[in-house]
Structure 1
């Protein structure tokens, strides 16, 4: 198994000790820790780690500032005592948000979620699209997209990881960013990733790992059935 290179930044030394101990207990994680945010950011820029553990409220620099300039492909887990920052964290495409003090079991779930995202990226060969969410650009691996849902002039991008992105791009334009062989429009409000279709009829379908029932419009059913037969 490939060793996952990790960096943890937190201005509380004991918090870094906990993360370092949990990484060693998990195994397969190579961890470097920094209590000075600016020094940690330079280490990220030089080393391009696979995974970053990042506090939010720190002296000298906010973790949100650091998160906004992370290198592409770097997975992010926020670790903070302030739950009110959770929404901001997910706007920055964080894999998970650990509320201090957190247990090893909760840490383990967060890291496993990050490992799954890395696996998706490896299988996709790095293919990704960039979407605008609020004032941030979010890079999403193509193979992490389960289906798209139109919401007026926005697009809700449902992901295999269980999270979603509310993009400021409409459904038609978002579909235009994606590889045609993998995605198909099944309704005026829905586009699905064909490899993740779990079951379907002439009027509706379900996606793997998702409880939603997606309608199939009459104008799209013939094309959808033909694509599924292939």
Structure 2
């Protein structure tokens, strides 16, 4: 169990860590806690039961290796459900959701990366170097602003989970684009800073235009 307290005093953020779920729950009940990361199986304590005992205005995010608990987690109004192992980018996306629920603006940290495997080599790719990602059959192609392309044996759905939905947008069943690299757009296409144009899928069109207009 990890407790995160967000305080406006001196613009500071206080982070408390508590590995014992019983002591953690006691702490939460005695201190204003904004965000809690909960495992589901914590020894004698079940995370679902613990979540039900949290103060009503506490945001909580489940972190667990057990997918079958996901529906129960959302029934409890969890902010998100992180399936282990998860990337830092996926963690940041969940944390951002919690901040937005609290009415606070997520802070973007520079220099963040994802790591993907190409053949037998792990490739470190800065998020701000990603132009767009294209789905292939059983693979994904990551096109980089620096000009290179990485082909990884990872389907687009799994790769999408590593990317923040605030910064990367699914525009088509075969394409994800970096929002910051979109130069212009209409209902049919987006045009990236490097001159590349990509189609917008019909089922995505209404949502994409609304997102990019913000």
Which TM-score applies when normalising by structure 1?
0.45
Instruction: Identify the structure with the greater helix proportion.
Output: 1
